[in-house]
Amino acid sequence: MFQQALETAHGIYGNQHLITTQLAWGLFNTPQKLGDVTAGWDLFERYLDWLLKRAPETLPDFQRQVRERLIVTGS
């Protein structure tokens, strides 16, 4: 269900939209919190890695926080 919502948001808003980031982060982060550190990396590559290529000051607060958490997790 969430994967379908993410794909729909991606199709409507694009990869860098806040809604797309929120959905991708939720899908990426849940398995990580449950101890499966390898799950979700395809989501990272498709929907989140662009955050690491942007200057943090150009991002809204939520996307900046996700960017920082991605850095901490070692992506």
pLDDT-based confidence at residue 75 (cuts at 50, 70, 90): low
- What does the CA dihedral 75, 8, 14, 23 come to, rounded to 10 degrees? -40
Q: What is the pLDDT of residues 21-48, one digit of tens each?
A: 999 999 998 877 776 777 778 889 999 9
State the helix-helix crossing angle for 2-13 and 18-33, rounded to 10 degrees: 150
Average pLDDT rounded to a whole number, residues 44-65: 96
Buried b (16+ CB within 10 A) or exposed e, 59-68: beeebbebbe
